[in-house]
């Protein structure tokens, strides 16, 4: 195979190293919003068993903050634990067209780098913007194939995104920047077997990617080299993680550094898998329009083929998930709690709710049919067709993800989500407001000090 004179990684390095300090307004707003969202989620999850376990296993002293916990820790601990907490309840940001959860990877990586290296708020903003942008662009190269190959896109794209974000925050030169990506390509990992029984590994994927990307950037800065042909080589990244050589690298490279996808990062109104959200909206709408859950005989949903293996099958297991985490990746469960409880928030995935006989009975009535014309992954849609015991049929459809670019969450809604997450994690209103003031001013800070977020 003839190697390219200028590789895809080199093109990305040239584009993103040339990004000017003044970012587009939409990107700046995204950086502020995703920082606030991730911080609130870390607080919400701070007392969970999986966060306690991750912190106990990895805690080593250093200069960095694990949000919601007293003390200071080294970079790897902070990046891993904050990434795990941010993604642990599946309530974090997403990207329509992916899906990936960029904030849960990039914020922990860049904040840890900022504390370790005494960076300014403008460095954080640059790192967050470019890291998130790289993750979004990676989604366009070979849509759906990474999931089909058995890997978690947030995990494997996240290592590269974190490397790009930290490299950009540290102001690495072009050669160091593409070397960091190349190194991170050999650190990327994350399989989706967590789906089988609701194991915790998906929760740690963003944290593992965050600490890997940081390490890759540091190694590149010290002169360690990675493959220049990470993407376009014979044994490249997508050959490994997507079983594919038919990649559209132009979709990733074209407009890089000038046209920004990350400004459209979406935020979740529900604490579960993204593609379940439109179904919850449909279920709630039907109840608001008079459907009584006790009168339901059966429910049939149209769905995209691309989400069946994660959110619909095996159907019996999705109708009766074994635990709260498994329930987050079940459309039948999401529809049932949406109809019976009117929401799908953090409390709706607690174990007592998951094992509620009424919820399980209703979830057991949900089936699906594949719609060959569904636009996934470009758009996330929902459809719920209810047949009542009387024989009457009621139906609701939604062609977009609420919280995404067609119906974004307002600044007020995002702040309300932040304060609610802080309350769920046991912080007082005063603690939440102090944290919010810090986060709002972070971009303008001459140096990053996250002490307010500790304890």
pTM of this structure: 0.96
> Which tens digit of pLDDT belongs to each residue from 200-219?
999 999 999 999 999 999 99
Gap between the Cα atoms of 160 and 51, Å rounded: 24
> Which tens digit of pLDDT belongs to each residue from 106-143?
999 999 999 999 999 999 999 999 999 999 999 999 99
315 exposed, middle or buried (CB, 10 Å; 0-12, 13-18, 19+)?
Answer: middle
Rounded to an integer, the average pLDDT of 187-202 is 94
Q: How far is CA 261 from CA 26, 135, 307, in A?
A: 10, 10, 23
Question: In whole numbers, what is the pLDDT of the chain averaged over residues?
Answer: 97
> Which tens digit of pLDDT belongs to each residue from 231-265?
999 999 999 999 977 799 999 999 999 999 999 99
Instruction: For the chain, give the percent of residues with pLDDT over 70.
Output: 100
Say how many residues make up the chain: 455
223 exposed, middle or buried (CB, 10 Å; 0-12, 13-18, 19+)?
Answer: exposed
Residue 279 has pLDDT above 90, yes or no: yes
> Which tens digit of pLDDT belongs to each residue from 401-417?
999 989 999 999 999 99
The sign one gets for the Cα dihedral 26, 24, 135, 112 is negative
Q: How far is CA 172 from CA 13, 18, 181, 302, 378, in A?
A: 10, 11, 12, 48, 33
Per-residue pLDDT, 76: 98
Question: Which of 28-32, 195-199, 357-361, 381-385 has the least mean pLDDT?
Answer: 195-199
Cβ(182)–Cβ(231) below 8 Å: no
76 exposed, middle or buried (CB, 10 Å; 0-12, 13-18, 19+)?
Answer: buried
Sheet holding 393-398, edge to edge: 366-370, 296-303, 382-388, 393-398
Residue 1 has pLDDT above 80, yes or no: no
Residue 80 has pLDDT above 90, yes or no: yes
Cβ(332)–Cβ(319) below 8 Å: yes
Gap between the Cα atoms of 116 and 108, Å rounded: 12
Per-residue pLDDT, 378: 86
Per-residue pLDDT, 245: 72
Residue 195 has pLDDT above 90, yes or no: no
């Amino acid at each position: 195979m003839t190697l390219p004179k200028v590789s895809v990684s080199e093109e990305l390095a040239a584009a993103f190293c040339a990004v000017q300090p003044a970012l587009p307004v939409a990107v700046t707003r995204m950086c502020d919003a995703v920082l606030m969202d991730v911080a609130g989620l870390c607080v919400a999850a701070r007392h969970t068993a999986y966060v306690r376990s991750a912190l106990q296993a990895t805690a080593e002293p250093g200069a960095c903050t694990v949000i919601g916990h007293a003390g200071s820790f080294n970079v790897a601990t902070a990046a891993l634990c904050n990434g795990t907490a941010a993604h642990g309840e599946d309530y974090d940001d997403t990207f329509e067209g992916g899906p990936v959860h960029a904030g849960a990877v990039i914020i922990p990586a860049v904040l840890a780098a900022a504390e370790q290296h005494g960076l300014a708020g403008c460095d954080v903003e640059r790192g967050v913007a470019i890291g998130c942008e790289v993750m979004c662009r990676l989604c366009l190269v070979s849509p759906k194939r990474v999931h089909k190959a058995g890997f978690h896109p947030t995990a494997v794209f996240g290592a590269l995104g974190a490397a790009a974000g930290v490299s950009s925050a540290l102001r690495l030169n072009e050669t160091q920047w593409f070397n960091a990506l190349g190194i991170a390509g050999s650190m990327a990992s994350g399989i989706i077997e967590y789906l089988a029984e609701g194991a915790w590994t998906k929760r740690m994927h963003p944290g593992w990617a965050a600490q890997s990307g940081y390490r890759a950037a540091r190694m590149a800065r010290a002169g360690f080299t990675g493959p220049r042909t990470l993407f376009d080589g014979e044994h490249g990244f997508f050959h490994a993680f997507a079983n594919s050589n038919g990649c559209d690298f132009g979709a990733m490279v074209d407009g890089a550094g000038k046209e920004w996808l990350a400004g459209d990062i979406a935020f979740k109104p529900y604490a579960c898998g993204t593609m379940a959200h439109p179904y919850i909206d449909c279920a709630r709408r039907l109840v608001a329009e008079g459907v009584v859950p006790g009168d339901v005989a059966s429910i049939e949903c149209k769905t995209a083929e691309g989400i069946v293996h994660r959110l619909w099958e095996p159907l019996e297991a999705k109708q009766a998930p074994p635990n709260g985490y498994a329930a987050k990746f079940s459309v039948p469960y999401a529809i049932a709690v949406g109809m019976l409880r009117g929401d799908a928030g953090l409390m709706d995935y607690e174990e007592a709710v998951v094992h509620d006989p009424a919820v399980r009975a209703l979830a057991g009535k949900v089936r699906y049919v594949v719609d060959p014309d569904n636009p996934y992954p470009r758009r996330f849609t929902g459809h719920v067709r209810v047949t009542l015991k009387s024989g009457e049929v009621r139906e609701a459809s939604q062609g977009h993800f609420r919280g995404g670019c067609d119906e974004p969450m307002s600044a007020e809604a995002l702040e309300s989500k932040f304060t609610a997450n802080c309350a769920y994690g046991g912080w007082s209103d005063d603690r939440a407001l102090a944290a919010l003031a810090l986060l709002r001013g972070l971009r303008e800070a001459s140096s990053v000090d996250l002490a307010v977020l500790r304890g």
